[in-house]
Each structure stands twice: as C-alpha cells, then as structure tokens.
C-alpha cells in the first residue's frame, strides 16, 4: 500500500496537487482515544476500537496543502476531485460515499480512502456503489492481498 500511496502522491504533485497523509495506521489504543474523544461514536464519524479500517493498515486519510480540514467540502476541492478520479488506478477507493450513510454507518468522508488493490478498486469504483453494497452483490470478491 505504501508504494501505491507514494506513486499517487508523486503524480498528484506533478499535476500541481500537494497531497498529505493526514492519518494512516492506528493501533487499538489510539483508535479508542479518538472514539472516546468523539463521544463514543455518537456522531457516526469515528469507528469504535477494533472496527476501524485504520487498524487494518488499509485506510488513509488524505488531505492537501491548502485543504487541511476534514469536512465534506474537501470533496469539491481540486485535490478532492483529483483523488476521486485517480485513486482507483493506485488501488484505492473513496470509502464513505455521499448519501450512503444509511448503508456504511458513517458520514461522507471525501478524505478517507481504502486500499483494495488496483483491480478491485476499479471494479468497486466503476459500479458507483459503496463497498458494502458491492460486497453484497459480489460476495466472492476478496479483501486486498497483504502487499
């Protein structure tokens, strides 16, 4: 995943977008801290400990210089739109889509990307479905390999 992230950041920079890894892997203790600070999940934006994608090592919160606020407006920025368009070619999907909160259990997070590997990321993105919907339709699809 790191090599894919580095490659994506390099190409974005060549195109005038300076991406920043705001958050990556978190251990259970760190996730518990964020969860408790957010009010134990009352706001549907922080996963409980032992259920966060950040604890898997496959999640990346990506922002950009000049766009350092994690809010829905990031999705409309130059960096946010670039990521949505280009992330699949590096193996990432936008994880929590707009208008899918009732399915994912989380608010729209245009900065939160999940690594699935290039082939699966393309498949998921092309459907326009959130990951939960995709897995319901295609349960044979596997989570990414350990790379």
Which among 109, 126, 132, 133 is annotated as catalytic?
109
Report the b/e string of 86-111 with b at 16+ CB within 10 A. ebbebbbbbbbbeebeeebebebbbb
Yes or no: say if 64 and 77 are a contact pair by the CB < 8 Å rule: yes
Plot region of 80 (φ>0 → left; ψ -120 to 50 → alpha; else → beta): alpha
Instruction: Establish whether 109 is a catalytic residue.
Output: yes
Number of Cβ within 10 Å of residue 71's Cβ equals 12
Give the DSSP per-residue string, 21-81: EEE----HHHHHHHHHHTTTTTTSSSPPTT--GGGGT-EEEEEETTB---SGGGGGSHHHH
Nearest to 141 by CA among 131, 35, 128: 131
Catalytic residue numbers read: 109
């Amino acid at each position: 995943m790191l090599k894919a992230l580095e490659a994506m950041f390099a190409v974005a920079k060549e195109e005038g977008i300076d991406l920043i890894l705001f958050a990556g892997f978190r251990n259970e203790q760190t996730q518990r801290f964020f969860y408790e600070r957010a009010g134990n999940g009352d706001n549907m934006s922080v996963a409980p400990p032992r259920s966060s994608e950040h604890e898997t090592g496959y999640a990346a919160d990506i922002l950009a210089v000049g766009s350092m606020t994690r809010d829905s407006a990031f999705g409309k920025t130059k960096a946010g739109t670039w990521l949505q368009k280009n992330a699949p070619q590096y193996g990432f999907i936008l994880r929590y889509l707009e208008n899918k909160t009732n399915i994912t259990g989380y608010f729209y997070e245009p900065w939160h990307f999940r690594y699935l590997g290039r082939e699966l990321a393309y498949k998921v993105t092309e459907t326009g479905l959130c990951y939960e919907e995709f897995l319901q339709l295609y349960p044979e699809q596997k989570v990414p390999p350990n790379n």
